[in-house]
Amino acid sequence: MAPHIPHPAPVLLPVPLHPLRRLTRGFNQSTLLADTLARRLGSQCWPHALRRTQHTVRQHTLPRAARQRNLQQAFAVRDIALPDHVALVDDVLTTGSTVTALTHVLHQHGVKTVDVYCLGFTPIDKNHKNVG
């Protein structure tokens, strides 16, 4: 993934899991990705800058319309000064609801530019072709 990011953000923020989900799973896959990618890009990984404040229903179990509602008030920024440019790191981008909710919170905390780095995505429709 690193060769496809010509101007990386100085700080990578993994999409947070709720503490109960993290405990059940044993790891946060986004943190593993962000840490590895940050080392390859020469960026920093801040795995504790964001937190999930609500234990929400898993996004993949919900229809598209319900995903955004599921994430309302689900994220917060810890008491930390963030740079103007950050990147959210997640494993899969499906509808964009998670990164939209997180971007909103980050903008409220003064971040101007939010990039999104993910390993895979779900096309919006079957006619969409992956060009990367």
| Single-letter amino acid code for the residue at 86 | V
How far is it, in rounded angstroms, from Cα 111 to Cα 80?
Answer: 12
pLDDT digits 0-9 by tens, 73-126:
679 999 999 999 999 999 998 878 889 999 999 999 999 999 999 998 887 665
Helix (H, G, I), strand (E, B) or coil at 92: strand
Q: Give the residue-averaged pLDDT of 5-14.
A: 94
| Backbone phi and psi for residue 108, each to the nearest 5 degrees, phi listed first | -65, -25
How far is it, in rounded angstroms, from Cα 58 to Cα 35?
Answer: 24
How far is it, in rounded angstroms, from Cα 6 to Cα 28?
Answer: 26
Tokens of 113: 């530019």
pLDDT at 66 over 90: no
| Single-letter amino acid code for the residue at 18 | H
**Model pLDDT, residue 132:** 41
Q: Beta strands of 10-81 (E only): which ranges? A: 11-14, 44-45, 50-52, 75-77
**Model pLDDT, residue 123:** 75
**Model pLDDT, residue 23:** 81
32 DSSP assignment:
H
pLDDT higher at 72 or 40:
40
pLDDT at 131 over 50: no
| Backbone phi and psi for residue 13, each to the nearest 5 degrees, phi listed first | -115, 110
Give the domains, in start order, of the chain with CATH numbers.
Answer: 9-121 (3.40.50)
pLDDT digits 0-9 by tens, 25-36:
889 999 999 999
**Model pLDDT, residue 110:** 97
